[in-house]
Structure 1
């Protein structure tokens, strides 16, 4: 089986939407998804902030990884922030996740950036996968706040 990766475009939005919703269901957080397919299409085509890489096998989307670029003050340079890595269940264990992470690593190297992301602490498969890649894992509490005008 051959796996290729490429930058996603707005025409890939429905595939990415399907994969992200499957991930949210797996993590039990479907209520947290508030984006629409139109939002995703727009973000991939217009914003310049949201990016994704898709993996293909036999002309089928086998997985995706979404990311944004940011500035890391501690290192004084760019940082690639991974949002979600999702591999279609039918393609797991076949190197799709590794191919996607390698594609991101190439993008980070081009800009001299480090990569950073969050992992659910109970997602043992993800933790093992990242450890196999040589990723440094550390515990940290993630704070989220949606301020409102009072």
Structure 2
């Protein structure tokens, strides 16, 4: 069992390292000021962002970044799993599964109505994991940058 917990200030350096790996994986970059703003919100208990950390033998092995929001379809919060990343040296050890299960358990305990996420269609490794929890639906995403 991989322990998963809230992100702490002491995790900042490890989170930044993994965040950089996440961005490299998706061949993108996030400006430093956005990264730091995101980290501050993850550390703020009053923020709608939820940051969770998986540990193996005291080492940060992965993270999730999720956003809680209201919905016109439910009366309780919805959780959007925006980012999930596992350190390459820990892949195959169940860290990704533990991170998703953690959000399911957390959501049930906190009364969230739904957890959802998406990934790139060709991210087969992630999709095999995600399909073990739930089949993908038939929605297509549209994204307009403002």
TM-score normalised by L of structure 2: 0.86
Secondary structure (helix, strand or coil) at the match of 2:50 reads strand
Matches within 5 A, 1:1-150: 3-30=2-29, 33-36=30-33, 38-46=36-44, 48-110=47-109, 111-146=111-146
Q: Deviations over 1:7-33 (max 9, x none)?
A: 112322222222122111111112xx1
- The alpha-carbon distance between structure 1 residues 10 and 121, as it changes in their structure 2 partners (threshold 3 A), is same
Query: Is 1:50–1:67's contact at 8 Å kept on the other side of the alignment?
Result: yes
Cα drift, residue 135 of structure 1: 4.1
Distance in 1 between the 2:43 and 2:134 partners? 33
TM-score (norm 1): 0.84
TM-aligned CA distance change 1:93 to 1:138, over 3 Å: farther
Superposed structure 1 runs of 4+ greater than 3 Å apart: 35-38, 135-139
Q: Greater shift after overlay, 134-143 or 106-115?
A: 134-143
The secondary structure found in structure 1 opposite 2:70 is: strand
Query: Contact 2:9/2:43 (CA < 8 Å) preserved in 1?
Result: yes
RMSD over aligned CA atoms reads: 1.9
Give deviations 1:84-136, integer Å, cap 9, x for gaps.
Answer: 11010011111111111111001111214211122111211111110122343
> Structure 2 regions of 5+ residues with no counterpart?
none
Please give the alpha-carbon distance, in whole angstroms, between the structure 2 residues aligned to 1:17 and 1:116: 24
Compared CA separation, residues 128 and 138, structure 1 to 2 (3 A): farther
